[in-house]
Amino acid sequence: MPWLVPPSSPTGNNRHIELAGIDLLIIARIDNVFVYPSDVDIERLKDALGRALSLWPLVAGRFLLLDDDHYVIEMSDNAIPVTLIENTDLSKWSINSNIVVEIIQNPLEPFIDYTQVEKMVRGSLDEPLFRLKLTRLVQSGEWIIGTSWAHVGHMCWAMPLLV
């Protein structure tokens, strides 16, 4: 069951952050999974996510190429996609960690809606920089929250913290 979560109040005002050439060399995603042992209040999560998007308008932006020369992230106050899945097959989370950044033996595909970086590079205005997927394990009551960030968006978000 997918839905869109917009910023609670628009703050991006279509401002741009220009990307340096080094940002474009790494066309990748950053995918993570977080596991919560108890129930998640969906309405509260939507509200918190909307407020966070207002504080960090870059997350609700889009990757653009301007004048065939300048790559930017436009803070366009777009809603981000959130998907909810009810999983009745798994009895419990099988990995001995509540935060998974990268995993080889147990793929994360069922728990993440991956950002389509290739679409962004080709100029799609429909592809968000960030996607969220919630999976409820019905048997154990655990919740798995999968996040997927386009690397270019993640780099712009992190750069002010590094300076």
Between CA 98 and CA 35 the distance in angstroms is 5
Whether the Cβ atoms of residue 60 and residue 76 lie closer than 8 Å to each other: yes
Paired tokens of 75: 């803070």
The residues with which 57 forms a beta bridge, in sequence order, are none
Cα 151 from Cα 71, distance rounded (Å): 14
pLDDT tens-digit series, residues 15-70: 998 877 655 555 578 888 999 998 999 999 999 999 999 999 989 998 887 887 77
Separation in Å, CA 105 to CA 19, 32, 42, 64, 108: 34, 15, 30, 35, 10
- Parse the chain into domains and list their residue ranges: 2-162
More confident residue, 120 or 135: 135
Q: Output the average pLDDT for the chain.
A: 83
CATH number of the structural domain 2-162: 3.30.559.10
